Amino acid sequence: MGKRMTNKSLKKLLQDYPLLRSITKYQEVCWINEKKNELPVATIKEVNMEEAIKRLQRFAPVIAEWFPETHSDFGLIESSLQQIPLFKQAMEKKENQIFFGNWFVKSDHQLPISGSVKARGGIYEVLKFAEKLALENKLIDQKESYRKLLFPSIKSFFADFTIIVGSTGNLGLSIGIIGRKLGFQVIVHMSKDAKTWKKDKLKEIGATVVEHDADYSVAVEQGRKEAEKDSFCYFIDDENSTHLFEGYATAAYRLEEQLHAKQILVDENHPLFVYLPCGVGGAPGGIAYGLKKVFQKNVHCFFAEPTHSPAMLTRLYTNIKDISVQDLQLDNQTEADGLAVGKASEFVADHIGSFISGCYTISDNELFRLQALLFETEKEYLEPSALAGFYGPITIKSYTEKEKLYENMPQSTHVFWGTGGMLVPEGIRQEQLDFGKTML
Ligand SMILES: Cc1ncc(COP(=O)(O)O)c(C=O)c1O
């Protein structure tokens, strides 16, 4: 909204949008998108998603060479889809209810290279930028192998360019790792929520970290300003980038293949529910956009946010442009550092508002409880942000009733997007798990 909201205008807002009353008390809520229609959104053309897939394939031999963990997938950056029956059973016991359908985690917490969903968009955009520079300067040819990018001469060419990004941590890590590998200078503007280990990792690989004692929106703004000063700087705009969005969207094709390989049907009688943790909205927005293209009305996408940072929910529910959680006098303080975003991306809100099924919020304590339960049952560690999706089936009951999906729920599939965790140091993992265990 820009200008700070007065108490009077906040009071009026709470009258007009009753759900905000619970939101301003940090209570968990679930908002269902009453305006959802099933029209496809055509602003990002399908061709871009296919182009993105082809681009990632062109880079695959280089990625395989640099990152041996991608060998088994021939240089593609992909994660597995794993069923989590023990977690489901434990949830049924704890919640004292039966949950329908099969539950899976899409394991982007183990995504090669940087261990988070942000690798999809962030790495893709850096590769796209590198490709553009290299083609324009005739350093590579699309018809030849991109292995030439491994030559030191190309690395020194890229060293004249600087990539700048604002981040709560994981996007910065993804861009830092691939950017430095290619030879770029990388500057990451970090919000105050960013964890020290993420900053240390970036410094270790030779990226410059600019620390801000302010939230994510300020970090992005400062990065944008810095990049404007120098024509050799390229700014990756987490709030507005169509390139990031394309990179995230490609995940949908891969999920389709993985479901198919497991002989899991998605159609009118077999609904697919996907639960995505949401910060500024780029990652969940791009993935949901891709999923809608692939599965259309048979996929139901929900975004999950912390009770202290419900930026996308507030934006979509009120339909007020640029509204922030600070406008609601919320503090935007959460242990889910990747989701500590006060203002949602307008670009993403525009792209997903017409088809998103809903958004819900989850308290930090619930994140830690779910984290411990998932680890105890399935031996999977995810960072706190990544647990937000796992609350979905508990909270979306009113949606399945409203959409009259009840009959098809026994044949439903539920995918929780596991968005990060692989790189979290052991000591921090243990502390979090010990805390979560106290709530089991
Ligand atoms: C672990 C994790 N999950 C989810 C997200 C949300 O992504 P976005 O900010 O694009 O909505 C982030 C963002 O950094 C993250 O780090």
CATH number at residue 257: 3.40.50.1100
Same domain, 253 and 220: no
Domain end marker among 191, 207, 238: 238
- Note the pLDDT of residue 98: 94
> Taking Cα atoms as reference points, which of 191, 35, 218, 55 lies closest to residue 130?
55
Please state, in angstroms and rounded to a whole number, the distance separating the CA atoms of residues 254 and 387.
Answer: 22
The answer to whether position 63 is within a domain reads: no
Average pLDDT rounded to a whole number, residues 360-381: 98
Residue pLDDT, tens place only, 142-179: 999 999 999 999 999 999 999 999 999 999 999 999 99
- Note the pLDDT of residue 6: 79
Q: In what order do the strands lie in the sheet with 162-167?
A: 208-211, 185-190, 162-167, 233-236
Using only the alpha carbons of the chain, give its radius of gyration.
Answer: 21
Task: Look at strands 185-190 and 208-211 and give their pairing.
Answer: parallel
Q: Which atom of ligand 1 is nearest to the CA of 276?
A: 4
Q: Which atom of ligand 1 is nearest to the CA of 282?
A: 10
Residue pLDDT, tens place only, 316-328: 999 999 999 999 9
Residue pLDDT, tens place only, 178-200: 999 999 999 999 999 889 999 99
Same domain, 93 and 129: no
Same domain, 150 and 96: no
The answer to which of 44-48, 283-287, 382-386 has the lowest mean pLDDT is 44-48
Same domain, 292 and 429: yes
- How far does the centroid of ligand 1 lie from the alpha carbon of residue 12, in Å? 32
Residue pLDDT, tens place only, 16-30: 999 999 999 999 999
Q: Which atom of ligand 1 is nearest to the CA of 116?
A: 1
- Note the pLDDT of residue 45: 58
Same domain, 322 and 282: yes
Same domain, 270 and 402: yes
Q: Which atom of ligand 1 is nearest to the CA of 421?
A: 1
Q: Which token pair is 101?
A: 């359908």
Domain that holds residue 361: 7-43+72-113+245-437
Domain end marker among 207, 238, 269: 238
* Counted domains in the chain: 2
Same domain, 299 and 403: yes
How confident is the prediction for the chain on average, in pLDDT? 94
The answer to whether position 433 is within a domain reads: yes
Same domain, 277 and 250: yes
Q: Which atom of ligand 1 is nearest to the CA of 284?
A: 11
- Note the pLDDT of residue 162: 98
Residue pLDDT, tens place only, 36-91: 875 555 555 565 888 999 999 999 999 999 999 999 999 999 999 999 999 999 99
The answer to whether position 58 is within a domain reads: no
Same domain, 295 and 379: yes
Going by CA atoms, what residue is nearest to atom 12 of ligand 1? 338
- How far does the centroid of ligand 1 lie from the alpha carbon of residue 112, in Å? 16
Q: Rounded to 5 degrees, what are φ and ψ at 208? A: -95, 130
The answer to whether position 363 is within a domain reads: yes
- Note the pLDDT of residue 48: 81
Domain end marker among 186, 209, 238: 238
Q: Which token pair is 44?
A: 């990002």
pLDDT grade for 282, boundaries at 50, 70 and 90: very high
The answer to whether position 166 is within a domain reads: yes
Please state, in angstroms and rounded to a whole number, the distance separating the CA atoms of residues 393 and 400.
Answer: 10
- How far does the centroid of ligand 1 lie from the alpha carbon of residue 118, in Å? 7
**For ligand 1, mutation pick of 107, 110, 117, 309 (most atoms within 8 Å of CB):** 117
Same domain, 276 and 346: yes
The answer to whether position 56 is within a domain reads: no
Q: Is 185 helix (H, G, I), strand (E, B) or coil?
A: strand
Q: What percent of the chain has pLDDT over 90?
A: 89
Same domain, 263 and 221: no
Q: Which residue has the tokens 């959104």?
A: 41
- Note the pLDDT of residue 247: 96
The answer to whether position 354 is within a domain reads: yes
Q: Measuring from each residue's beta carbon to the nearest atom of ligand 1, which residues come in under 6 Å?
A: 116-118, 168, 170-171, 277-284, 338-339, 383, 385-386, 419-420
- How far does the centroid of ligand 1 lie from the alpha carbon of residue 81, in Å? 19
The answer to whether position 55 is within a domain reads: no
Average pLDDT rounded to a whole number, residues 332-344: 96
Same domain, 336 and 400: yes
- How far does the centroid of ligand 1 lie from the alpha carbon of residue 282, in Å? 8
Going by CA atoms, what residue is nearest to atom 4 of ligand 1? 277
Average pLDDT rounded to a whole number, residues 387-405: 93
